Amino acid sequence: MKIKPILYLLVVLGLCIGGCGDKKLPEEKSASELAAEGQKRFDKQDYASAIALFQRVKDWYPFSELVTTAELQIAEAHYKLKEYDQAADAYQEFANLHPRNPSTPYAFYQVGQCHFVRMGTIDRDQTSAKKALESFTRFVSRYPDNQYAELAGAHIKECQKSLASNELLVARFQFKKKNYKAALKRFRIILDDYPDVGIQHIVLQYLAKCEAKLKNTAQ
């Protein structure tokens, strides 16, 4: 007697299910085991593996008290890997989710640090310097007595000097091209926005030259 096609499929499916049922699934690790293994990998500088393990803590045990540790360590691992965009996002997310956590000020500081370490020379794009300045300024305003406040203040001065020097570079270029109005505007921005970076005497000299050139042109 021939077995009908649909009956044949059911028989095959039953055999597959029975066979699969004999195989044991790998034992899932607990949140503490995953976190411990993640920290072990982190300490060995295997940061990619550490991220994967800490992510499992978050995914498998979302209500565990170890999730906050996992979140911060994921940010730290990205930072160690120099994946600064991912690190900044992870630090910011941690700070947003846990505003009262003792590690939150550090996370806020590290957001600025992720931008600060990418600052280039004064003749390059200053986006990182601007973002670092904004982050560190917020940090100092929010946590003026924190252990990282002094260091953040020093970084703020470095960011301001980089931005002012870049502005001076462009202003001097405009002056050289005889675009005196554009140059004058930039020199005034430096004096208004960056009064304490040590280049005021140079700016004032160029400012006087611009005003004299514009006055002579008007006559």
Residues in the chain: 219
Sign of CA dihedral 189, 190, 196, 202: negative
pLDDT of residue 76: 98
Over the chain, what is the mean pLDDT? 90
Q: What are 97-152's pLDDT values in tens digits? A: 999 999 999 999 999 999 999 999 999 999 999 999 999 999 999 999 999 999 99
pLDDT at 33 over 60: yes
pLDDT higher than 60, residue 29: yes
pTM for this one? 0.83
pLDDT at 212 over 80: yes
| pLDDT value, residue 219 | 55
- Cα dist from 17 to 20, 24, 27, 38, whole Å: 5, 13, 20, 35
Per-residue confidence at 9, pLDDT binned at 50, 70, 90? Answer: very low
Give the confidence band of 20 by pLDDT, cuts at 50, 70, 90.
very low
From residue 190, give the alpha-carbon distance in Å to each of 155, 170, 209.
18, 11, 16
pLDDT at residue 25, as a whole number: 38
Angle between helices 149-176 and 104-116 in degrees, nearest 10: 30
Residue 49 predicted with pLDDT over 90: yes
* Confidence at 16, pLDDT banded by 50, 70, 90: very low
Report which residue type is found at 119.
Answer: M
Question: For residue 95, is pLDDT > 70?
Answer: yes
CA atoms within 13 A on the CB side of 188: 8
Please say whether the beta carbons of 194 and 160 come within 8 A.
yes
pLDDT over 60 at 7, yes or no: no
The per-residue pLDDT for range 151-169, each reduced to its tens digit, is: 999 999 999 999 999 999 9
Note the pLDDT of residue 28: 82
Q: How confident is the model at residue 206 (pLDDT cuts 50, 70, 90)?
A: very high
Distance separating alpha carbons of residues 60 and 191, to the nearest angstrom: 55
